[in-house]
Amino acid sequence: MTLLQNRTALITGAARGIGRAVAKAFSEAGARLILADLEAPDTDGFHAARAIALDVTDGAATTNVFSELERDGWLPDIVVPNAGILHLADITNMEEAQFTAIIDVNLHGAFLTAREAARCLPAGSVIIFTSSLFGVQASAENAAYSASKFGVTGLMQAMAADLALRGIRVNAVAPGQIQTEMIEKLVAARRAEGKSDPRDRLITRIPMGRLGQPEEVAGAFVWLASDLATYVTGQTIVVDGGWQVG
């Protein structure tokens, strides 16, 4: 595939999960990559990639990263603010520190990455947020995560309006129930607390009868990043196996 040939993409949270799958799909479509995570991710298997360590909640560090990339000739024209964390709890048991941490990474971190991108990206560039099914439809035990992802959806729409006349498109992909390491850790923690595996209940809500795989989400990012979607901005593509219609 050459949909993204001669393009440069920055993906945060690129060490694993959906971020990693998006990076692989972008690479297969011809893009060179800037992979960012708290620790610089592995670049093995990518034809052209640069790894950086970045705490997305650190505004000064984010500014410095974009300045460094521009100086080195690696300024991206595709930016995916993807880094995120998850903690499920009933609202009465949600600790303030947990709520704050989720908002800080998922929403504040996405804002910082997208803001710095918006300040220096040329016309024709694309920003694609990773939202969530729970950023368009909340559920029990999801107060902090849903608040962060609803915020991402609103941020995306506002930025799309701000940047449209500059020729920068801004969209979001909202994955549903996807089998990632983050979900595995969540399941392990719940089992340690004597709770049931939530995937059993979730699958009954999905018409396709299974969780999705990260690779099945990545295609939506490729399409939005490509010239196949040049008139698409301010939109959220939900990739959920039919959850909302089930």
Quote the pLDDT of residue 181. 81
Owning domain of residue 52? 8-245
What CATH number did the domain enclosing 75 receive? 3.40.50.720
The 10s digit of each residue's pLDDT in 144-164 is 999 999 999 999 999 999 999
Nearest to 134 by CA among 169, 171, 172, 97: 172
**If you average pLDDT over residues 198-209, what whole number do you get?**
84
- Residue 3 counted as domain residue: no
Would residue 2 count as lying in a domain? no
148 found inside a domain? yes
1 within some domain = no
pLDDT digits (tens, 9 = 90+) for 69-119: 999 999 999 999 999 999 888 899 999 999 999 999 999 999 999 999 999
Residue 192's pLDDT band, with cuts at 50, 70 and 90, is: confident
Tell whether 24 is covered by a domain.
yes
Catalytic residue of the set 46, 134, 145, 223: 145
- List, as one string, the DSSP characters of the chain: --TTTT-EEEEESTTSHHHHHHHHHHHHTT-EEEEEESSPPP-TT-SSEEEEE--TT-HHHHHHHHHHHHHTT---SEEE--------B-GGG--HHHHHHHHIIIIIHHHHHHHHHHHHPPTT-EEEEE--GGGTS--TTBHHHHHHHHHHHHHHHHHHHHHGGGT-EEEEEEE-SB--HHHHHHHHHHHHTT---HHHHHHTT-TTSS-B-HHHHHHHHHHHHSGGGTT--S-EEEESTTGGG-
Residue 157 belongs to some domain of the structure: yes
- pLDDT computed for residue 183 by the predictor: 77
- For this structure, is 145 an active site residue? yes
Query: How many structural domains is the chain composed of?
Result: 1
Q: Which pLDDT does position 65 carry in this prediction?
A: 98
In this structure, is residue 79 part of a structural domain? yes
Global pTM? 0.94
In a domain, 54, yes or no: yes
